[in-house]
Structure formats: C-alpha cells, structure tokens
Structure 1
C-alpha cells in the first residue's frame, strides 16, 4: 500500500475532472458578476455591495467586481493545470530525448557543464524577462500567449532532466542484456525501443511529476509579480492589473493586496493553489516510494 501515491492520484483525478467540467461545482455561469443586490429582511430592504463575504449565496465570497470566487477558481483551474501538465510533459520529452541521445553517443559527464551557459541565473529571472514584454495587454490573445509562456518555461532547467535520463540510459547500456544485443548486431533504434524505453518508463514518469511540481512553483512566483498565465490585463482608470484568464496563481497575485481586508479573497485562492501543489507533491513522492520498494524487492 502506497498512501501518498493513492492520495495524490485521487486528488489529481478530482482536480482534472473539475478543470474539464467546472460547471459541476460552479454555482454561477462563467463570467457572471453582480456588483449590487438587495435582500428583504425583517427590517426592510437591505442593499449589499461587492465584495461580499462567504455566504449561502457566494460559498467563497465575491470579489470587488462582483464575480463569485468559487466560479472563478474552478474556471481558472483549467489554465493552471494545462500549463503545468503541458510544460512538464515538454520538459520530460525534450530532456529525456536529449539524455538518451547523449548516452547513445557516449558523451561523457565532462560535457554536462555546457548544457546551460546560463545555469548561474535563476530560471525565474530569465522566464520573467522573456514573458514580461508580451504578457501585459498582450496582442497575442490568451491561447497563443499561453503556448508561448509554456515554451519559455520549458527551455530552462532542462539540464537536470538531461543528466538524470542520460545517467540512467548509460547504466542500461552497460547492462549485460543490452551488450549482448549490441554484440548480436542490434540497431540503435531497436535498442532504444526494446531495451531502453521499457526500463525508463518509471524514471520518465517520476521526472514528469517532479517537473510538474517545479512548474507550478514557478507559475506561483510569476503570479506574485503579475505575470499571469494567459495574460495580464492592465486598466488605467482605476489603475489595476488583473488576470485575463483567472488562473489560480493569477488570482493570488490579484488579491494579495487583500491580506488585511476581505481576507477570504486571498485565503481561498491560496488554499486552492496549495491543494494542487500538495496533490502533485504527494503523487511525485508516491512514485519515488514505489520505485524504492521495487528496487528493494528486486535487490
């Protein structure tokens, strides 16, 4: 029994279902807002203005523009998860392919130093300055900007993925059954397909999970600095920066000024973000635990 893997997998399935079908739990249609409403009480008509605290009408409250917070979070979740999954998958695919190729070409560890000439600069800084010029009031539109941001986040921090996959592949190439296949005249494509990839599956899945956690953390840091996935909308009257797509990390950045007043506006997006992060970390930790158990049994 691997409780971390079970819990992480269950939470991820639930989150993916909610991201694909947000209307399952969203109390209001996407884009619905109500800045002012009235209720009849025993003392007469009472007018209520946005933002409203959590209640039976707004389970998680409403923001300054009258949007239901739960509805915004559910519809924004798809952008956050899509960015994390797509970027982590591209990192794993590209880094894994390069790592396998390096091992097959017998490139030694001395070449690792040249993998990233910008390794001394934090990836967050590089990503920030590459997406900053096109993120605020972007002419690209949310979809194209989304893919651009994912590509930018993919190209950094590939060195760790490449080195890990290359080391694992080199160990497999040194094994007896692979050397026998090479001696028998097997082609590289045959060796990769039948002798490398089947044994790298677990390693690549662990790499994907670890990269998903790293990407989500990066998205969260970008959100704090108003670089939102899918675009940042700037208005001048009043001067505001808001998330175009309403993705989860973006809502944290938008509402972080509400730490001292209307705290639910920051608390619930932050809790939502931590649930996603916890699910990914639990899934990744569960995969590593399963791999350790497998090695212990085989050893």
Structure 2
C-alpha cells in the first residue's frame, strides 16, 4: 500500500459496544502506521447506530482518519484495502451477548437455544456477511476477524466463500489461551483490544518488536490426514508465527500446536458447522412446505 494514498479500512460490527479503544488506536496510527491516513468505512445491520458512530468519529477528529462513511456494497467507488470484522464479546455469566433471530430457528431447536445461543448467534451473524465478504475475497482483500469465537467464525466464512489464499483470513480470538499459557511469570497482561492492535501492527507492517515473543495468529489449516476434499472445510487454529514481511508469515502447527487449544477449537467449529447445516436444512424444508401450500391454493 502506497503511503501517499489513503488506506481504505472497512470495519464490520456485530455489536456496537467496546469499539472506542480500537478506533482511537487506529485514528492515531497505532495499527497501520503513524504516517498512514485512513478512509474508514463502517458496516453493520443497524443504520441508525452506524450513522451515530460516523458522527462520533467526526467529532473526535482523529488525526489519521481522513474521512468516514457507511459502507455500501453496491457502490463501485468503495474498495476496502482491508476488512476488520469486530465480533461480539464473550458471554457474561454464561449469558451470550449475541442477538439471535428465533424466527430463523426451527421449532425443534427452540428448547436448546439457551445452551447453544452463543454459537447460534455467530452462525446467523456470519451468514449475513457472505455476499459482502465473497466480493472482497475475489479481490484478494485481507480479512481479519477479532473477538469471541473468531476461529469458528473464520471457518464458517471459509466454508461458504472462495478464499484467494489460505492466509487471506486471519482470526484473533478474544481469550487467546495460547498467549496466556506461554506468558512468563509476572509478565504484565495487556487488554484484549490493545493486544489486537499490537498483533495487527506486527502483521500489517511486517515488523516484530521482540523476536523472543512470537505473535500468535489464527490461521487456516487443512486436515489432509482425513483426506478432506475441499480446502474450504479447514479449521482455523492459533499458532506462533514467524513474520517475514508485510502480511506474510509462516507457522508450523505440528511443532507449535497446543493440544488443548486444538481440541477446543475443533469441537466448537464442528458444532457450529452442524448448527449451520441443521438451520439450512430446516430453512429448505420450510421453503418446500410453503411452495406445496401455495400449489394447493
């Protein structure tokens, strides 16, 4: 990306809380560089919230945010250089913060909504991004998912859109169990959003401040041992990576993988895909029933 051109950043919001720190860091150059102007595009399901957020950004007059507007997928003039998908936070006291469309859930599933609400909300939310992200994938636009169940969200999206490369989508999980496990005793813990900003800066600029502390990225791996035919069905796992340049890195899951992390992510991902297939099958059955009812009228 040429520095004399504005970097077009599209931010997709699942929910509209806890974005202040990330916007502040972005607006002051802590992610994409201190001399990189940003044109910000906002995407979400609530137009009123997006309009209010646009006003907030303009009122703050961030030095490196040149302009802000609502993303219009039909606009021929809007071409994001990178897409950031901001996922909802982890459940609080077991209660999911994700909104759920119960009308899309089959009656047989209603009694289990509380148990699976977090995954169900994620499945429903990611499905709303399919068309928009499919267009970005065709243009080889980098896509970064940040927040709770980011690995699962990345796998869901990768199963429905054609990626240009395995490294096109990056997942940064909110908890980052691997970083906590490998942290040295007494080492200070940075906030989730601050950590996201640090990782994004290292990955985007291709520089790593401390070579002894590897950056963890959630990247796509394909289970070749089970002869999976479609690459799109691969899992996303966190692993320490060696950054070799802007947006480029290498990871060795066989050497650096944490078995507990792999098992947890695989279980959540398999469950999410099962939910997605179940909901899609129920949707098809409802459509068939409606068609039959109309035919009898």
Asked if these proteins are the same fold (TM beyond 0.5), I'd say no
Q: Could you state the TM-score of these two structures normalised by the residue count of structure 2?
A: 0.27
| Higher-strand-fraction structure | 2
Bigger relative contact order, structure 1 or 2 (CA pairs below 8 A, ≥6 apart): 1
